[in-house]
Structure 1
């Protein structure tokens, strides 16, 4: 398995940045709030592809929605191109021209009554495009790999394959010439034979257009094939982050190790985590992973002298800068 072609090393100011981001949803009937995003720092630099990885329910989709301005944070801030994100209608409209969402289910993203042309042109019409609409739609379809584009103008979603529908969704994002794509499980609903084509397309768009991307996925194999950097999320927080090769060949957090162990190419033994992730309205003290941690359960944390810290002391939050960091008492004890 060969990692994706790397982008130039990230330097300078990030394009998108989150600092101290929290998103909480009120509980029912006076129950505690669910802390879906619970203190996240994350940077995405120009031309960089970051994979946000974790189990279902860990908060990664809520984090992506907060970065898009679809959910207003309870606390913390999002900045884009050096400016804080504002939540007025006009500001968000301008922001969403520069940051576009690509959803996992192209069938659900496309109106079955709209032709491909109308689906791709919709963003132009919403944002008041003043140029040649037909040329813009054709250019977006061609960049998404649907050539000749005119052949697809009058087709409907049901007349397309799953891969073609996903390319139409990507074209609908590209037509506004964004600087950043947020792709939520972009190949989860596609056959294995088509997945590689869509991932190659995203890499080509980065190379040709300088696009940045946040790819939300539960699949570390996908991250290996497309990302420059990985951020591993558990119960509302990023618990490990760093370059894709480092994270996926030498993981430091026990949760990352467990996620990797289920990949077919994994050389180690499979790690079966006990139980389900805790309720985000009742996050345990100390390290939030300790109730499922195979290292703590196996005595490794005791041997390193950090078992009490795992159960009672918060290991902190990676600062989002892109350097390799881990929120784990045991990993820090081993390094020390």
Structure 2
């Protein structure tokens, strides 16, 4: 899966909000890519565009080298192969549906051949709900938060997708359940060869699960690279600040000033410069004018690492 120059605009009273701005991003087979950033930075909007649920204003999404289909039939076939795992299992599961019905619903919509009961049981077992017979008749309120999240994952893997888009998959879970679900995502990658885009505001999650990390700020990818490189030697001041406040960090904590700017009134120059610690300390004195007046280059796609920051050399193409 690949996005090329993906841009998503919203019309609002008084103008246009650019939620996603020129994003180039690759998701490779058999890898977990963590998409990290503060709430409101455009992560979920980007996921919606990748799923075909939001129409890009510019740019495109490619899957197996082909643009996303536009017909209802084509999109339905695409969404069988690219499955969304929603953020809130309590809200995503119909409280009147048993676990069996929740998992079987997608099989029926996509008319998946085979014995439905066997397929449901296999999906539940794959998601770690064993023995599956114990859970078939259960209702969502009878399950723990972690079990409900596993039901959503089972409903996705029942369709045998090749990509999972997981939107904050552990945000509502306690520490024990978080670890179990992250372990499940790793097993799905290793045993089924699934690729996964894991959307999160928590860089700490990326330590445990990601092969690569992409950091998003106000609609742009500002840093991307292998997880080990981004998490141990971050280059962008925003990534450095996010990492510094993790409990396990050995960096001095950097608390960003203020909230992200309103995307309807984007600042001139680098969109991060009003909160940039480097500007506040004078470390960027030589390039401060560029930071305030010139937008850094958009990061290319592909496997190359890069950071969109005037303090660093311009990223090279792939």
TM over 0.5: yes
- Determine the structure 1 residue equivalent to 2:305: 324
Aligned-pair CA distance for 1:66: 0.6
- Determine the structure 2 residue equivalent to 1:4: none
Counterpart-to-counterpart distance in 2, 1:151 and 1:300: 60
Match of 2:38 among 55, 66, 70: 55
Runs of 4+ in 1 over 2 A off after TM superposition: none
Aligned residues of 1:229 and 1:322 also touching (Cα < 8 A):
no
Aligned residues of 1:72 and 1:87 also touching (Cα < 8 A):
no
Alignment: residue pair count: 314
* Cα RMSD, aligned residues only: 0.9
Aligned-pair CA distance for 1:164: 0.7
Counterpart-to-counterpart distance in 1, 2:249 and 2:268: 31
Counterpart-to-counterpart distance in 1, 2:264 and 2:5: 18
TM-score (norm 1): 0.92
Which aligned pairs between 1:155-166 and structure 2 lie closer than 5 A? Answer: 155-166=138-149
- Determine the structure 2 residue equivalent to 1:8: none
Match of 2:239 among 227, 240, 256: 256
TM-score (norm 2): 0.97
- Determine the structure 2 residue equivalent to 1:167: 150
Give a deviation string over 1:131-186, Cα, whole Å, max 9, x none: 11111101000000011111111111111111111100100000000000000000
Aligned-pair CA distance for 1:88: 1.7
Which aligned pairs between 1:295-310 and structure 2 lie closer than 5 A? Answer: 295-302=278-285, 305-310=286-291
Which aligned pairs between 1:1-336 and structure 2 lie closer than 5 A? Answer: 16-28=1-13, 31-302=14-285, 305-332=286-313
Aligned to 1:320, the other structure's residue is in SS state coil
Aligned-pair CA distance for 1:241: 0.3
Counterpart-to-counterpart distance in 1, 2:88 and 2:294: 40
Aligned to 2:265, the other structure's residue is in SS state coil
Aligned residues of 1:19 and 1:77 also touching (Cα < 8 A):
yes
Unaligned runs of 5+ in 2: none
Aligned-pair CA distance for 1:130: 2.3
Counterpart-to-counterpart distance in 1, 2:10 and 2:134: 46
Unaligned runs of 5+ in 1: 1-15
Aligned to 2:84, the other structure's residue is in SS state strand
Aligned-pair CA distance for 1:332: 2.7
Aligned-pair CA distance for 1:276: 1.1
Aligned residues of 1:100 and 1:180 also touching (Cα < 8 A):
yes
